[in-house]
């Protein structure tokens, strides 16, 4: 018997990817699948808190095991900004172009251009609560390069590489990304649970 496990997203493509990673011990369902159409508030002050708020919300309201993720770009020279506000850095319209423009403007006089993409996953099971974290370190360049990806990918060059994330193929990006690292840890954990 496969255990249902909710991924706190409405994105079916993301859920399908995770299903492929975790195998048949769990049936991954989206918020849409369980009839959850409300916006779960992300009022935390960290990736950990926001991910936990979402996974606990589903557990409390629907009684279903759930995992949720929160991700963003952390820039030490900007005191960790954009951080949890990465998607809405330049305002609520969630425009990648506007977010990048504001980021590059704020970085103009910064000598330290280090940055990292971070993903945190909160897994809420009946008897336990576990976090997983993935990180991709690199630096920010001054002008956009590349057509692939989304968000801040055109100005982020991963450590040890010369290309931006937006110049990599999806497969190349997924092989190194913060999200892939976190979800691989989650998948390994779930696989062990499903095969005691």
Q: Which residues contact residue 42 at a Cβ distance below 8 angstroms, ignoring those fewer than 6 apart? A: 50, 53, 54, 70, 84
State how far the Cα of 158 lies from the Cα of 140, in Å rounded to an integer: 9
- The DSSP bridge pattern shows strands 156-158 and 114-124 to be unpaired
Q: Are 18 and 30 in contact (CB under 8 A)?
A: no
Catalytic residue among 39, 69, 70, 153: 70
Angle between helices 178-194 and 12-22 (to 10 degrees): 50
Is 70 one of the annotated active-site residues of the chain?
yes
Tokens of 90: 């330049």
Active site residues: 70
């Amino acid at each position: 018997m496969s255990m249902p496990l909710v991924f706190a997203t409405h994105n079916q493509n993301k859920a399908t990817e995770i299903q492929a990673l975790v195998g048949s011990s769990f049936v991954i369902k989206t918020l849409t699948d369980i009839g959850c159409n409300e916006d779960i508030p992300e009022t935390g002050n960290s990736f950990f808190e926001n991910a936990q708020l979402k996974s606990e919300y589903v557990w409390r309201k629907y009684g279903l095991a759930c995992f949720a993720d929160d991700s963003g770009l952390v820039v030490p020279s900007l005191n960790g900004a954009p951080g949890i506000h990465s998607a809405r850095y330049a305002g609520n319209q969630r425009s990648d172009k506007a977010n990048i423009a504001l980021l590059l403007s704020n970085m103009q006089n910064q000598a330290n251009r280090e940055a990292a993409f971070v993903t945190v996953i909160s897994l809420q099971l009946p008897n336990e609560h576990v976090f997983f974290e993935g990180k991709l370190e690199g630096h920010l360049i001054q002008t956009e390069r590349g057509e692939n990806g989304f968000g801040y990918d055109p100005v982020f060059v991963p450590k040890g590489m010369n290309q931006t994330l937006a110049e990599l193929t999806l497969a190349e990006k997924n092989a190194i990304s913060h999200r892939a690292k976190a979800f691989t840890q989650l998948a390994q954990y779930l696989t062990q649970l499903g095969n005691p």
